[in-house]
Amino acid sequence: MVDITIRKRPRTEAVLTQRKFFKKTARGKVIKVLRERYLRDDVGCGIDGCSVCHDLRDFSLPSSGSSAHAQYPNGHFVLPDTNVFLAQMDLMESDLFNPPIILLQTVMEEVRHRSLPLYNRLKALIRAEDKRIWVFYNEYRSETAVIREEGESPNDRNDRGIRMATAWYKTHISLARPPVRGQPSRPSPTVVLLSDDVANRQKAEKEGLVSISVRKYVEALQDTSKLLDLLSAPGSDEVEPTRVASARQALYPDYLPMSTLGAGVKSGQLHQGHFNANQYNYLEGNVPVAAFDKPILLIGRENMNRAVQGDVVAVEVFSESEWKAPADEVVEQETTLRNDDADESEEENDDEEAIAERKVLQAERARREASVRQPTGRVVGIIKRNWRSYVCHIDSTSLTSSNTTSLSQQTVFATPVSRLLPRIRLRTRQAPALLGQKILVTIDRWDSTSRYPEGHFVRALGKVESKEAEQESLLLEFDIPYRPFGKAILDCLPPEGDHWVVPPKTADNPVWRDREDLRDLIICSIDPPGCQDIDDALHARTLPNGNIEAGVHIADVSHFVHPDNPMDSEAAARGTTVYLVDKRIDMLPALLGTNLCSLRPHVERLAFSVIWELTPEADIVNVRFTKSVIASKSAFTYEEAQIRKDDPKLDDDLTKSIRLLNSLAQKLKANRMAAGALNLASPEVKIQLDSSESSDPIDVEQKELRETNSLVEEFMLLANISVARKIEEAFPQTAVLRRHLPPPRSNFEKLQDILQKRKGLTLDVSSSRALADSLDKCLDPNEPAFNTLVRIMATRCMLSAEYFCSGSVARDTFGHYGLASSIYTHFTSPIRRYADVLVHRQLSAAIGYSSLHATLHSKSHVERVLDVVNRRHRMAQMAGRASVEFYVGLALKSRGKGKATTEEAFVIRTFRNGLAVYVSKLGIEGLVTFKRETQFDPDAYTMTVPAASPEAVGTTIAVFDKVTVEIEVEKDKNTQRGRVKMTLRSPVDSSTL
């Protein structure tokens, strides 16, 4: 019998090996958590050829480090502390910055605790093939593990652990290079502690360690000028303030402490929400909060108090006597501040730009009183900054020198592409070379003494208006992940690659387990032209009892994408496929999306099927869900399916199936509309490209919608509703559902008032059914497009639909307002939407085909994933619209051969100094501005342009009026891309105003 020796650890070691902390639960209970950590002496250093760690196979660091630094000719390793990754991640990610890096476990854990987005970037950096990074688990090595001493802060404990690990590496490298008799001793490479924390550097130097700031380290590298531009704006501990800077008067109030903000929000004295800038007036913003029906209005820079689009802010609401109405004038930042100097002046608060802003606000103050007021307040603190990298261009007027050979540092303005963002003050040595280029800029700080935020240059994207730079800038502008799929992700694909096929049907084949063989059914797909990622296919046939069997068959993506593997994690991070005019950014690798999962014709494919028995009146008799194998008989475009359905000469099984599906779809739609579903509208246009190989646009036209579009839509809706009921029944706490909340009535107040005053029409918003009926009655016998215009305006009054976890909200809020359905989800597009993949997994478990992964039993996990998916979905929609807008501009330029074209448009909004118009034929909006004074009536939604002579009568223009505009494409000052510029030609010519 084998002898077993039991060894007890001495009590003295427990202090070092046990980690104790207190945790507060969701219900407010405080519990003590005790975690054991096992200390070892075999955690490797990662240095190639180390004689002490010779038995370890893995290493990432060269034996002598890097000698590419002037101060360390014998080689060196860089050991950054936490603040380097928190503040200088752009530098660490740069291709020009390649020293061998020792990354401590302490640093990784602190970055994760401080910023999850930066932690995800750090993990990607570790995996990057062009970086030399070794993760050293110092918390598990006996010589480097530290415990927090009495009275020591967590930050000081971490700093001490970082210094201890630096000292250990210094000693370890000397031990690994013992002197050899008869040979000169080899100098050891230096371990350099990289830190911008002055106190930490001073302590390190006292302990005999080499430490240096990031800026001083970079100054001695090659490509210094490019690398210095990547550094974030220096903090107060790095640069001694000058007398002028220290005496500069604050332009903005200081923020309240975070503890005060939290207490204020909890007590109801302050309100928390996301800051939204006004695209028409840069001196105005708002914050939607739960306590008020209307958003809290913020007027002027001081009240917006350095909030940037998307920041989570705390707002103090003024007394009701101080409430105001939104401005009725277009105020552009580039016009008001065109003479501003990028270099900070001594008295920034008293310059002419500040005076100009005050004049604008004073002129508006009197006008605001007569209009409808809303809660007004000011930002008193930032709860969460949502800053990221922004696409910008250098404002050429802010350069002090345009000499391309000059390497002197200049302070310039970077103007963001988005009108919702302020100009960013930037210090760079590359300013002349960056003129005419799209660049990426990160905001670092916004001090109370500076009118503008300060940032740093990240990288150039390419020449302005080049298709490549525009495409990349669109993706970056809307934070779309577009990197190629990495090796770990591609390794999750079937090893057979393109040659993978559905295996032969046998009793013992796991692929066929519990799958129905539906290969003989007459199944087809109907999609837009050129569709490669075919998610869905349909069939219908008459049953012997006179009822109809209809089926929706969806690609079985969850067979290939397994929970918690690298491909699943990447799909969750991307959230959705993004469709641009000439490019698609896939959520899944192309092998799955366009091949193995795509339900292509005449190929056997795995599917997840929803099959109903319906009466001829489209009432559901029963529904079943099954994994299946199908073989689509044809792939139609909407137009091809429509032609086939309408051709009286055709009477084959496939045509009969399409006709049967269409007749059911018409009845399903009628039933939905009778229940109160909304038939809303959004502008959709089709860009005509020069050829299938070329992405040069030649024209633009409205998309034509056919019966077959509605056919597919109705069956997808029916499948989504049926699946939603099934998974909510099976998993009432964690079902992935989608809802569309009823909009607050206040959202429709302005549209209701406009319709009543301009057309004498009433819009009833008491329910979705009442709204649908009202929209049907919004007709103008002289203008068929009027009803579509009203539906587009009504759509903008709606709230956005969102994914949610069923256990996180009240049951009575599950409904989808627009579809008039009590429950809904997304099941039908798993190739391009990650939410659908989760729904497939839940449905698979609900029918007993597979067990549900543990993560989908966790409500908190589902909530976190859906937060990301909701955000990615919104960003993908905005990127798609921006792409269409860019290509519409190119198409108009091509159509007019550089000259302006004329189109009819509708007025959708009036301002004191302009009009917003909508060109229905092109699906675009534009702004027509007047420089001359006009007579503006905000209550009647009209503006009157005075006649040239005093005797003549002026021309009155109102919302819903049809006008003629001249459209040309000019370079936008913000985006530096071609922008559609509109000039009124009728009933008056605005070019003379």
Q: Give the pLDDT confidence of 186-213 residue by residue, as tens digits.
A: 788 999 999 999 999 999 999 999 999 9
The whole-angstrom distance between residue 850's C-alpha and the CA centroid of its chain comes to 33
Helix axes 638-646, 653-675, angle to 10 degrees: 110
Q: Are 415 and 395 a contacting pair, CB within 8 Å? A: yes
Q: Which of 385-389, 395-399, 830-834 has the lowest mean pLDDT?
A: 395-399
Alpha-carbon span 731 to 852, nearest angstrom: 10
Question: From start to end of 491-547, where are the E strands?
Answer: 516-517, 524-527, 536-542
Alpha-carbon span 983 to 927, nearest angstrom: 8
Name the phi and psi angles at 81, rounded to 5: -90, 180
Whether omega for the bond prior to residue 987 falls within 30 degrees of 0, making it cis, is: yes
Alpha-carbon span 199 to 958, nearest angstrom: 65
CA distances from 730 to 552, 726, 821, 837, 845 (A): 21, 6, 19, 17, 8
Reported residue count of the chain is 993
Q: Are 662 and 711 a contacting pair, CB within 8 Å? A: yes
For the cut 90, the answer to whether the pLDDT of residue 815 exceeds it is yes
Name the phi and psi angles at 484, rounded to 5: -65, 155
Token reading at 393:
């261009």
- What is the structure's pLDDT at 236? 40
For the cut 60, the answer to whether the pLDDT of residue 365 exceeds it is no
Closest CA to 275 of 305, 255, 251: 305
CATH architecture of 258-384: Beta Barrel (2.40)
Tell me whether the CATH fold assigned to 389-463 matches the one assigned to 898-986. Answer: yes
Alpha-carbon span 568 to 834, nearest angstrom: 9
Alpha-carbon span 850 to 129, nearest angstrom: 37
Alpha-carbon span 282 to 400, nearest angstrom: 26
Q: Give the pLDDT confidence of 908-959 residue by residue, as tens digits.
A: 988 888 888 988 887 788 888 887 778 888 888 888 887 766 666 778 899 9
Closest CA to 364 of 324, 318, 312, 399: 324
Position 529 confidence tier, pLDDT thresholds 50, 70, 90: confident
CATH architecture of 389-463: Beta Barrel (2.40)
Using the Cα atoms of residue 69, residue 71, residue 76 and residue 78 in order, give the sign of their dihedral. Answer: negative
**Who has greater pLDDT, 893 or 631?**
631
Partners of 79 in beta bridges: 193
Mean of pLDDT values over 570-575: 94
Mean of pLDDT values over 615-625: 95
Strand 634-637 and strand 524-527: the pairing is parallel
Q: Are 974 and 335 a contacting pair, CB within 8 Å? A: no
Sequence-separated (6 or more) residues with CB below 8 Å from residue 118: 85, 86, 89, 111
Alpha-carbon span 206 to 522, nearest angstrom: 81
Position 68 confidence tier, pLDDT thresholds 50, 70, 90: confident
Alpha-carbon span 768 to 817, nearest angstrom: 6
For the cut 60, the answer to whether the pLDDT of residue 351 exceeds it is no
**Who has greater pLDDT, 52 or 972?**
52
**Who has greater pLDDT, 339 or 542?**
542
Mean of pLDDT values over 613-619: 94
For the cut 90, the answer to whether the pLDDT of residue 538 exceeds it is yes
Q: Give the pLDDT confidence of 388-434 residue by residue, as tens digits.
A: 888 888 888 777 766 655 667 888 889 888 888 999 998 888 888 88
Partners of 984 in beta bridges: 965
Alpha-carbon span 366 to 666, nearest angstrom: 55
Q: What is the dihedral of CA 596, 598, 600, 603, to 10 degrees?
A: 30
Q: Which residue has the tokens 């001090």?
A: 447
Token reading at 584:
């698609």
Q: Are 818 and 680 a contacting pair, CB within 8 Å? A: yes
For the chain, the structural domain boundaries read 43-179+186-230, 258-384, 389-463, 487-741+802-879, 746-797, 898-986
Return the CA Rg of the chain. 32
For the cut 70, the answer to whether the pLDDT of residue 540 exceeds it is yes
565 three-class SS: coil
Amino acid at position 878, single letter = M
- What is the structure's pLDDT at 975? 55
For the cut 50, the answer to whether the pLDDT of residue 791 exceeds it is yes
Q: If you average pLDDT over every residue of the chain, what do you get?
A: 84
What is 43-179+186-230's CATH number, 3.40.50.261, 3.90.180.10, 3.40.50.1010, 2.30.60.10?
Answer: 3.40.50.1010
Mean of pLDDT values over 435-442: 89
For 284, what's the count of Cα atoms within 13 Å in the CB-facing half-sphere?
22
User: CA 236, 241, 242 angle in degrees (round to 5)?
Assistant: 170
Percent of residues, the chain, with pLDDT higher than 90: 42
User: DSSP string spanning 377-428?
Assistant: EEEEEEEE----EEEEEE-GGG-S---TT--S-EEEEEEESSTTS--EEEEE
**Burial of residue 783 (number of CB atoms within 10 Å: 0-12, 13-18, 19+):** middle
Q: Which residue has the tokens 């002496």?
A: 41
Q: Give the pLDDT confidence of 574-608 residue by residue, as tens digits.
A: 999 999 887 889 999 999 998 999 999 999 999 99
For the cut 60, the answer to whether the pLDDT of residue 347 exceeds it is no
Strand 210-212 and strand 312-317: the pairing is unpaired
- What is the structure's pLDDT at 242? 35
For the cut 60, the answer to whether the pLDDT of residue 631 exceeds it is yes
Partners of 800 in beta bridges: none
For 775, what's the count of Cα atoms within 13 Å in the CB-facing half-sphere?
25
C-beta neighbour count of 412 within 10 angstroms: 26
- What is the structure's pLDDT at 689? 58
**DSSP character for 926?**
E
Whether omega for the bond prior to residue 10 falls within 30 degrees of 0, making it cis, is: no
Mean of pLDDT values over 632-637: 94
Mean of pLDDT values over 72-86: 92
348 three-class SS: helix
C-beta neighbour count of 897 within 10 angstroms: 7
Alpha-carbon span 400 to 843, nearest angstrom: 63
CA distances from 300 to 287, 338, 340, 560, 886 (A): 14, 18, 17, 53, 31
Sequence-separated (6 or more) residues with CB below 8 Å from residue 123: none
Q: Are 950 and 944 a contacting pair, CB within 8 Å? A: no
Q: Are 482 and 475 a contacting pair, CB within 8 Å? A: yes
C-beta neighbour count of 364 within 10 angstroms: 22
Closest CA to 56 of 172, 151, 160: 172
991 three-class SS: helix
Closest CA to 589 of 831, 826, 830, 827: 831
pTM across the whole model: 0.78
Name the phi and psi angles at 760, rounded to 5: 70, 25
Question: From start to end of 408-532, where are the E strands?
Answer: 410-416, 424-428, 437-445, 454-463, 516-517, 524-527
Q: Give the pLDDT confidence of 704-721 residue by residue, as tens digits.
A: 678 888 999 999 999 999
Homologous superfamily (CATH) for 898-986: Nucleic acid-binding proteins (2.40.50.140)
